[in-house]
Amino acid sequence: MSSTRHFMTELQAVPQMDLAAQYAAIGAEIREAVANVLASQQFVLGKEGAALEREVAELCGVQHGIGVASGTDALILALRAVGVSAGDEVILPPFTFVATGSAVSALGAKPVFADIDPQTFNIHPDEIAKRISSRTRAILVVHLYGLAADMDPIRSVAQRAGIPVVEDNAQAIGAAYKGKPTGALGDVACISFYPTKNLGAYGDAGMIVTNSAEMDTRLRTLRNHGQASRYNSVEPGWNSRLDELQATILGVKLRYLRDWENARRAHAAEYSKLLAPVSAVKPPHIPAGYQHVFHQYTIRAQRRDELQKFLSDRKIGNAVYYPIPLHLQPIYATLGHQRGSFPESERAANEVVSLPLFPELKSEQIARVCAAIAEFYRG
Ligand SMILES: Cc1ncc(COP(=O)(O)O)c(C=O)c1O
């Protein structure tokens, strides 16, 4: 009896995300697709990967897609392909997942941080301009939470300096900026298919997209031991290929991505409407002309840590992406930054909290989350 009651309480919890609900809806199609790959016994660099490369490139409005083993590998290979190597500098925001920085470090290059725009949480174009030096080899822009960075001024700065722009599009597949998809806004873009992403694999996977045929050829070489043709290695490369099982799973899910995105946007609008009267929180800002895909629904909240505890006590999912900006991470201690070096990134790290968001989320659940937030600030 008591375990039944416990189960009922658990059922009323609002999870941060719910991949099981998605699997319940599409599991039969996924199992069939996986069975076909198993029957083919072709697991690496086959037709499923090639088909997914075409489809994702098309979604991003570019000519080429190159499947790789993760979003992090996509960043490392793309940075290498635009010419980054040891001793170079790469400009990036400190308010991001550590992979954005560690990809730069993996090549022996130096991350040079540029603070964010507090409205969008994305790298500020003016901050980039201040940090360009003779050693800058790339600008690495992150489209955080599913919202594009302000790419027009960023591209202008980059063009004036003759520096390539790499998009970290790990969180924003399907988003758009002034009518153009993320992935088509720089010289090359990197996508993560980590399971929790809007388009998530059942393991690690990633892709690089670009309009450059030259970069496409180079990246296919880099992901496969630097082999320009079989057993002919022309430069040091990696083993970083997207496997056929992940590709076929992603191919099934891709058919639903637009519907899922629309559901996410509708949920976000509902949250923002219900939270509007709560002056202690600030819902996400969507600048005019941007299409947000709400990988996360992230608010700024007064007394954030207390609010988190209040929500967790009521079994309401919540998470902070990201609590420590990169310039304050132990791996970057040697760069000599301190608290106060990038004030907007630090303020965001202290104030943000992401609320439950996934396509299958119900209106009642959104209402429950918002009621709990209102109750917290009333109390
Ligand atoms: C902004 C950002 N960059 C890079 C990555 C790395 O992607 P992956 O986990 O697929 O290596 C992620 C996701 O984890 C991310 O959110």
Question: pLDDT by residue (tens digit) across 228-241?
Answer: 999 999 999 999 99
Q: Which atom of ligand 1 is closest in space to residue 99's alpha carbon?
A: 4
Q: Does residue 110 have a pLDDT over 90?
A: yes
pTM of the model: 0.96
Query: Which of 307, 300, 357 shows the shortest CA–CA distance to 116?
Result: 300
The neighbour count for residue 274, using CB atoms within 10 Å, is 18
Could you tell me which of 320, 303, 315 has the C-alpha nearest to residue 379? Answer: 303
**CB of 200 closer than 6 angstroms to any ligand 1 atom:** no
Q: Per DSSP, which regions of the chain are E strands?
A: 64-68, 89-92, 110-113, 136-142, 165-168, 176-177, 180-181, 188-192, 206-210, 227-229, 232-233, 281-282, 290-291, 297-301, 352-355
Q: Please check whether residue 69 is in contact with residue 206, taking contact to mean a CB–CB distance below 8 angstroms.
A: yes
* pLDDT tens for each residue of 354-370: 999 999 999 999 999 99
What type of residue sits at position 296? Q
Closest Cα to atom 8 of ligand 1: 71
Rounded to the nearest whole angstrom, what is the distance from the C-alpha of residue 275 to the centroid of ligand 1? 29
The confidence band for 181, taking pLDDT boundaries of 50, 70 and 90, is: very high
- Checking if the pLDDT of 107 tops 90, the result is yes
Task: Over range 317-341, report the average pLDDT.
Answer: 97
Average pLDDT of the chain, as a whole number: 96
Rounded Cα distance between 338 and 97, Å, is 19
Q: Give the pLDDT confidence score for residue 79 in this predicted structure.
A: 98
Mean pLDDT of all residues in 186-206: 98
Residue 358 Cβ contacting ligand 1 at under 6 Å:
no
Q: Is 146 a pocket residue for ligand 1 (Cβ < 6 Å)?
A: no
Mutate to test the pocket of ligand 1, among 90, 92, 97, 167 (most ligand atoms within 8 A of CB): 97
Question: What's the CA-to-centroid distance between 346 and ligand 1, angstroms?
Answer: 20
**Band of the pLDDT at 95, cuts 50, 70, 90?**
very high
Confidence of residue 246 (pLDDT cuts 50, 70, 90): very high
Q: Which band of pLDDT confidence, cut at 50, 70 and 90, is reported for residue 162?
A: very high
Q: Is 307 in the pocket of ligand 1 (CB under 6 A)?
A: no
pLDDT of residue 379: 86
Digit-coded pLDDT (tens) for 344-356: 999 999 999 999 9
Top mutation candidate among 56, 68, 72, 147 for ligand 1, by most atoms within 8 Å of CB:
72
The whole-number average pLDDT for the span 207-227 is: 98
Ligand 1 atom at minimal distance to the Cα of residue 72: 11
